[in-house]
Structures are given as C-alpha cells and as structure tokens.
Amino acid sequence: MALMITDECINCDVCEPECPNDAISQGVEIYVIDPAKCTECVGHFDTPQCVEVCPVDCIPVNPDRVETRGQLLLKYESLMAEKAAETNPESR
C-alpha cells in the first residue's frame, strides 16, 4: 500500500527529507506522495519514516493503492535497479 498525505498537512517540511525513495514532494497546497515510488520504506526501514516524523498524523495508507509487502518489496527492488542504472550508465 502506498501512503498518502491528507489535507491536515501543515507543510512542516519534515517528511520530504526522510523519504528514502524521493516519493514526497511539495504539491500545489500540501506535500504529496508519488504512489509509484512509495514502498512504505519496505527495503529501507521497518516503519514508514514519514509517518514516524509527522507531527500531525496526516499520512495514512492510500486505500486506492493496496499492495502487499511482497509487492512493495518488488517495487523497492525495481526502484533500486533504476537508481543504479542512472548512477552507472555502463551497466545498462
């Protein structure tokens, strides 16, 4: 399941730097999470780091993006492979 940021977000800026997948960015009014990049920190940490640091508890699971832990792990592996290819073009 990818996470999402609700309109209770106060734009405190603490979640964005905590995301190991760069899935969080500033949206028009509040921060947003790219569900294609969100693995709920699977592969990096035991718990979602954005949820851990959020002072207003505005980062629930996105009900429209239900994924199993296995699917999140596959997404993590794919994202890491893409990142490796970007940083090492010879490996393509």
Within-domain flag for 7: no
Dihedrals phi, psi of 18, to nearest 5 degrees: -85, -15
What CATH number should be reported for the domain holding residue 26? 3.30.70.20
Q: What distance in Å separates the CA atoms of residue 23 and residue 13, rounded to the nearest whole number?
A: 14
Within-domain flag for 57: yes
Average pLDDT, integer, range 47-63: 97
> How many domains in the chain?
1
Whole-number percent of the chain with pLDDT over 70:
96
Instruction: Give the Å distances, CA to CA, from 13 to 17, 18, 50, 78, 84.
Output: 8, 10, 10, 27, 27
pTM of the model as a whole? 0.89
Q: What is the pLDDT, as a whole number, of residue 91?
A: 54
Average pLDDT, integer, range 1-22: 96
pLDDT, mean over the chain? 94
Average pLDDT, integer, range 2-16: 97
Domain housing 76: 16-91
